[in-house]
């Protein structure tokens, strides 16, 4: 993802700080910033990140006209809306908008919940930054440890992170749930509910109930 100097600017909103990555700042020039759409990423610097599809008010009209011409969406009979509408695609407009939204509450509650993503910061290490052999080693150990009655035994899962201060790994299950597993590293099938596993409804649930606390404690 391309960046620029403004992407590192920290904006303060009460006790919440955030950074903005704006597509139109790294792929300019744009012809009409009042009649277009763009991707925006909001990083709240606490392990939460939001990927937001933003349209301008005028672009809604343009999208309808385009559909009428090309026959899509039943020739403009309907539109699948973006996550957010704004007057114009400028940093000033988007920054003010996000600031106001954060004053009113959490973005995953105000906007579409699908905008929410995890950004792994200490004490977490995201799988995207790990070597493939390290990921495979963790998944192999998990497979060795799972007993026949373990709740993850027949679940398809993907390693998305590990903790750097203990032996917990973080998995995303096929249905979007998040599992945190504390590996024992005995390299054999465990018993008596080991390896200890915690299941969360989704990434939002996991952040609020575990990840947020871990990050706060690590930075005390």
**In the predicted model, what is the mean pLDDT of residues 167-177?**
97
Using alpha carbons, list the distances in angstroms from residue 120 to 45, 117, 164, 206, 215: 10, 10, 11, 12, 10
Other Cβ atoms closer than 10 A to 203: 21
Q: Which pairing describes strands 16-22 and 37-43: parallel, antiparallel, or unpaired?
A: antiparallel
DSSP string, 24-53: HHHS---S-TTS-EEEEEEE-SSSEEEEEE
User: How much is the pLDDT for 3?
Assistant: 73
Average pLDDT, the chain: 95
pLDDT band at 34, cuts 50/70/90? very high
Q: Which residues contact 191 (CB under 8 A, 6 or more apart)?
A: 147
| Cis ω before 66 (30° cut-off from 0) | no
**SS3 (DSSP) at 81:** coil
- In total, the chain counts a number of residues equal to 220
Three-point CA angle 203, 25, 60, nearest 5°: 75
Q: What is the pLDDT of residues 173-190, one digit of tens each?
A: 999 999 999 999 999 999
- pLDDT tens for 84-139 read 999 999 999 999 999 999 999 999 999 998 999 999 999 999 999 999 999 999 99
Share of the chain above pLDDT 70, in %: 100
Report the pLDDT value the prediction gives residue 128, as an integer from 0 to 100.
96
Q: Is the pTM of this model over 0.75?
A: yes
First-to-last alpha carbon distance for the chain, in angstroms, is 31
Tokens of residue 135, six digits: 């990921």
Average pLDDT for residues 36-56, to the nearest whole number? 97
CB 161 within 8 A of CB 124: yes
Cis peptide bond N-terminal to 123, omega within 30: yes
Contact of 83 with 111, CB cutoff 8 Å: yes
Range 55-69 average pLDDT: 97
- Percent residues over pLDDT 90 in the chain: 90
Segment 165-177 shows an average pLDDT of: 97
Q: What are phi and psi of 119, to 5 degrees?
A: -115, 110
Q: How confident is the model at residue 29 (pLDDT cuts 50, 70, 90)?
A: confident
């Amino acid at each position: 993802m391309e960046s620029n100097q403004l992407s590192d600017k920290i904006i303060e909103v009460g006790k919440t700080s955030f950074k903005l990555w704006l597509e139109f700042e790294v792929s300019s020039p744009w012809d009409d910033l009042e009649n277009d759409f763009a991707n925006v990423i909001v990083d709240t610097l606490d392990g939460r990140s939001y990927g937001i599809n933003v349209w301008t008010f005028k672009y809604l009209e343009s999208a309808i006209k385009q559909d009428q011409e090309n026959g899509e969406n039943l020739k403009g009979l309907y539109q699948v809306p973006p996550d957010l509408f704004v007057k114009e695609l400028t940093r000033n407009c988007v920054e003010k908008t996000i600031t106001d939204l954060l004053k009113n509450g959490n973005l995953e509650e105000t906007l579409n919940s699908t905008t929410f993503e995890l950004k792994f910061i200490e004490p977490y290490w995201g799988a995207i930054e790990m070597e493939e052999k390290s990921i495979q080693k963790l998944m192999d150990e998990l497979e060795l440890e799972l007993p026949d009655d373990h709740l993850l035994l027949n679940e398809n899962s993907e390693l998305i992170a590990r903790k750097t201060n203990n032996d917990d790994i973080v998995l995303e299950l096929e249905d979007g749930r998040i599992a945190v597993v504390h590996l024992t590293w005995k390299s054999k099938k465990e018993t008596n509910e080991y390896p200890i596993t915690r299941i969360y409804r989704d990434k939002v649930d996991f952040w609020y109930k575990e990840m947020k606390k871990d990050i706060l404690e690590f930075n005390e």
